[in-house]
Amino acid sequence: MKVLTPKGEQLELLTVNMGPSHPATHGTLRVFCALDGETIVASMCEMGYLHRGFEKMVEQGTYTMVLPYTDRLNYCSAMMNNIGFCKAVEKMFAVTVPERCVVLRVILCELSRIIDHLVCVGANLVDLGALTNFWYFFNPREAVYKIWEKLCGARLTNTVTRIGGFYRDTYPGFEDDVRAVLVQIEGAIKDVRGLIEHNKIFLDRTRDVCVVSKEDAISWGWTGPCLRASGVDHDIRKQEPYYGYDTYAWDTVIGTKGDTYDRIMIRIFEMLESISITRQALDRLKPGPINTNDARLTLPDRNRVYHDMEALINSFKLIYEGVRPPPGECYDATEAANGELGFFIVSDGGTNPYRIKARPPCLTQFAAFGPMTEGTMIADAFGTLGSINIIAGELDR
Amino acid sequence: MSAPHIDTPTIPSAAPGIPLAKDALLALVRERIEVEPDPSDRWDLTVVVASGRLRDLMRFLRDDPRLRMDVLLDIAGVDYLAFPGHRDARFAVVYLLKSLAFNHRIKVKVRVEEEALEIPSIHDCWKIADWMERECWDQLGIVFKGHPNLKRLLNHHQFVGHPLRKDYPCQKRQKLTVNDPMVDQLQLRLRQLGYTVLSEGEIHAPAVRGGTPGEVVGTGDKGMQDPDLTTGTQVGDMKRSVL
């Protein structure tokens, strides 16, 4: 493509199409860019290759049927999506879940955050040519998946929560397994930090690469680790605390420059904070009910169903019709691994959701990807793509 | 019902970090722009504004030192066609905003009549509004007037209709036969950056076989390279509106 630069020089640009099935895109994303040598001059992104119509599908079933679909949004930390959706519906009912359920949700959320960051950082380092870290991080990730398997039978798509509580309580020995895996994760983080922190190749390829200023990050609607990397002190767990996150001792990790280095390092240090929160939550985990006793949400006890007419009707109604939130429009958000995961729910008082709009955190980050990589080398652009952690399942819905 | 006239502001300006209560927020907004609280939001604050005042309201929410709603979280379109007992306009667009300084949130709703499916674009107020408006147009067919590049975001470029409308059949599939070359998009971007495009050259797709503009290029599947292919091809099959 022949162009005139803003300075009036004639330039021959090479147009290159990356993706949708390019290994460096970690999914199906398309980046169409114009190159001057190896430098990106202009770049446009196309998404939607994994679009399955999440928002249309969820209108066809009951609220409980939405849960398996939410697993498939950010499939690297499926439980956080389950919990985010349940919390939004629980807000509509104005029910509070029991203490054990809250603490268990905190533990599962933080473990999910850790495995999400493990995948993000591990794969990002592979993009930069550092393969060993990937194995160091995927071993503890596998150990967490073993816990998920014992907990609910599924590894990737867990559907472990229910509106008003959980599918079932934990298994005996859950606490010990979690404590053991936390030690393993700490070891892996130590190993990886040892490999990258003083590594000249890593530092050269990440420092001052694709810097996003505070103002730009806010204007792009960034949330989560990427926003914090740009130096904005904002975490929903701190600023609008839910599930008692304000009662745990932990710190928000904030970057200084907003470059790829910050975005990677923030995730590494956030894992350490999550480990600390998980340990404190394990200390608080006391036996007790895991489901709310609100009859609109929770199935009655089996013994009562067989001997009590009202309980039988209640059970049938909940199975056949599901929960019925009061009519209205409600938005609720949680701090997922990638940023603010929100659900805007419109209820007409019926059994099926009238409209659900998911707010995927990585859409805002991918929208910025084209402009933020303009002016950088093409190889660094893909290092950056890993650092903003695009999960196609949640991006394309 | 008109907004109450406030001579002297009765709302104390919040110290940083302290979110304003729902009523205080509403009163503050009503000082400047006529809005109605939406009774269907029983949990937080949604204000309904006329589409003509939308841009003023959004700028005010973003820039007022007492509000500072600096993050546009999402733009959600709703089709009320099948909503029981709904009498207002068929569509509504809901803007979700949040303040990083004060941690308060607000939703702004604009009702859109089916006969005049057009509301002003706010792409120049937040960078992210560009893509969010594209998604809303793609899914519900609401036109954002003044948007520089109102193309589909989630569905493919040959898609007809808007899947999140309540009269769009859930099971309907639409195949993609020819991929979007995106050359016009890239040229638009180059022009935005101050470049002048003199001529189109060859387009290289390192991940796949190359092609030339006009033909199908860089789709990741050799089946897509055949310009005579008229049957539904498998690439882009994932990119359909509804499963």
**pLDDT attached to residue B2:** 37
Contacting residues of A for B204, CB less than 8 Å apart = 14-17
User: In the structure, what pLDDT confidence band is assigned to residue B17 with cuts at 50, 70 and 90?
Assistant: low
Beta bridge pairs of residue A342: A333, A359
Run of H or E including A138: helix A132-152
Across the A:B interface, residue pairs with CB atoms under 8 Å apart total 210
Q: What confidence tens digit (pLDDT) does each residue in B80-126 have? A: 988 888 888 889 999 999 988 888 889 999 999 888 889 999 988 88
Long-range CB contact pairs, B96-99, < 8 A, 24+: B96/A331, B96/A342, B96/A344, B96/A359, B96/B72, B97/B61, B97/B62, B97/B69, B97/B71, B97/B72, B97/B73, B98/B69, B98/B71, B98/B73, B99/B19, B99/B67, B99/B68, B99/B69, B99/B70, B99/B71
Please judge whether A221 and B71 are an interchain contact, meaning their C-beta atoms are less than 8 angstroms apart: yes
Helix (H, G, I), strand (E, B) or coil at A68: helix
State the amino acid at position B155 in one-letter form: N
Residue B217 has pLDDT above 60, yes or no: no
CB contact under 8 A, A234 and B219: no
Which among B83, B107, B155 has CB closest to A48? B155
- Both tokens of A296, joined, read 């609109």
Inter-chain residue contact B73 with A359, CB threshold 8 Å = yes
B196 to chain A, closest Cα gap in Å: 5
Which one of B87, B100, B219 makes the best mutation probe of the A interface by having the most chain A beta carbons within 10 Å? Answer: B100
The answer to whether the CB of A344 falls within 8 A of the CB of A331 is yes
Give the three-state DSSP class for A354: coil
Q: Does domain A54-396 have CATH number 1.20.5.510?
A: no
Cβ contact B78–A346 (<8 Å): yes
Out of A53, A234, A359, the one facing B241 most closely (by C-beta) is A53
Question: A12: nearest CA in chain B?
Answer: B201
Domain ranges of chain B: 13-164, 181-243
3-class DSSP state for residue A125? helix
Q: Cβ A330–B130 below 8 Å, yes or no?
A: no
User: Residue ranges per domain, chain A?
Assistant: 2-46, 54-396
CA distance B64 to chain A (A): 16
| B103, B154, B204: residue with CB nearest A48 | B154
Please judge whether B163 and A340 are an interchain contact, meaning their C-beta atoms are less than 8 angstroms apart. no
pLDDT, tens only, A317-353: 888 888 999 999 999 999 999 899 999 999 998 889 9
> Nearest chain B Cα to A48, which residue?
B154
d(CA B103, CA A246) in angstroms, rounded, equals 15
Q: A88: nearest CA in chain B?
A: B43
A184-232 residue pLDDT tens? 999 999 999 998 888 888 888 888 888 888 888 988 989 999 999 988 8
B-chain CB neighbours of A326 within 8 Å are 42
> Which candidate in B46, B128, B212 is best for mutational testing of the A interface (most A CBs within 10 A)?
B128
CA atoms within 13 A on the CB side of B176: 25
Look up the CATH number of domain B13-164. Answer: 3.30.460.80
A35: distance to nearest CA of chain B, Å? 11
pTM score, whole prediction: 0.85
**What ipTM does the predicted assembly reach?**
0.88
Q: Residue A303 is inside which H or E element, if any?
A: helix A302-307
What confidence tens digit (pLDDT) does each residue in A255-267 have?
888 889 999 999 9
Q: What is the pLDDT of residues B50-79, one digit of tens each?
A: 988 898 899 888 888 888 888 999 999 999
Interface test with A, best of B106, B204, B222, B239 (most A CBs within 10 A): B239
Angle at B54 between CA B48 and CA B57, to 5 degrees: 85
* pLDDT the model gives residue A174: 92
Does the CA dihedral A35-A38-A41-A45 come out positive or negative?
A: positive
Q: What tens-digit pLDDT sequence spans chain A (397 residues)?
A: 877 778 878 888 888 888 777 777 777 888 888 888 888 988 988 888 888 889 999 998 899 889 999 988 988 889 999 999 999 999 999 898 999 999 999 999 999 999 999 999 998 888 888 888 889 999 999 999 999 999 988 888 888 898 988 888 899 999 999 999 999 999 999 999 998 888 888 888 888 888 888 888 988 989 999 999 988 888 898 888 899 898 998 888 888 888 899 999 999 999 999 999 999 999 999 898 888 888 888 888 888 888 888 889 988 888 888 899 999 999 999 999 989 999 999 999 888 999 999 999 989 999 999 888 888 888 888 888 888 888 888 888 8
Is A328 in contact with B41 (Cβ distance < 8 A)? yes
Q: Nearest residue of B to residue A22 by CA position?
A: B207
